[in-house]
Amino acid sequence: MCWHSECLQVQLAFGALVGASAQAVPPHAPERRYALREVKARLHQASFRDAVLAAYGGRCAISHLPEPRLLDAAHMIVDADEQFGQPVISNGLPLTKIHHAAFDAHLIDIDADFRVHVSDRLLEIHDGPFLELGLKGIVGQAIQLPRRNEDRPDLERFYLAKADLIDTSRRGVWTLTVFPRIRGTRTEIENATEALVPRCVGHG
């Protein structure tokens, strides 16, 4: 075996790398930076999710989507709430990831008749078919309920934990944070809340 130096070739190029465009870094790409963090993991979340999805037949309670990889188990009362946030089926709802995000952001909510309310913020947006059908189109729609009554959403606990009153106008016009569209005097709102809670008793 012989080696010939005259057979060696070198290619020089300015600008894009020859034959390596997929690996080339764009000139204004942000610098990659990483950090190590210590996090508190919810070890019970997987079993909670499995139980909630099983109770609802593996479908989203709003859209009825049956694809498990696109479904979450949403907490009606957040897990961090020591008093009301237990990981039990009656504190959970199977929702698609977009409906879960909207629920957590109080853009959609559920009333004592298990019907969906949509915030004015979403209703005032005019966009494509996904918004119109997937979010605005669910106003007043009844959610799918689990087969067993004891697994149904515990709306009594839901109201007691979330029905905080705030003065949004600073002129005596109050609103429920859980249903921003419900407005009135503080006495009217308190009476409405008291009327709603008893209707939830017996739903499990």
> What beta strand segments (E) does 3-160 contain?
71-75, 92-96, 108-110, 116-118
- Residue by residue, pLDDT tens for the chain (204 residues) are 555 566 666 666 555 555 555 566 677 778 888 888 887 777 888 999 999 999 999 999 999 999 999 999 999 888 887 878 889 999 999 999 999 999 988 889 888 788 998 988 899 999 989 899 999 999 999 999 999 999 999 877 776 665 554 444 434 443 444 444 444 555 555 565 555 443 333 333
One-letter amino acid identity for 180? P
pTM over 0.95: no
- With vertex at residue 199, the alpha carbon angle to CA 202 and CA 149, rounded to the nearest 5 degrees, is 30
- Contact partners, residue 55, CB within 8 Å, separation at least 6: 89, 146, 147, 148, 151
Q: Name the DSSP class of 143.
A: P
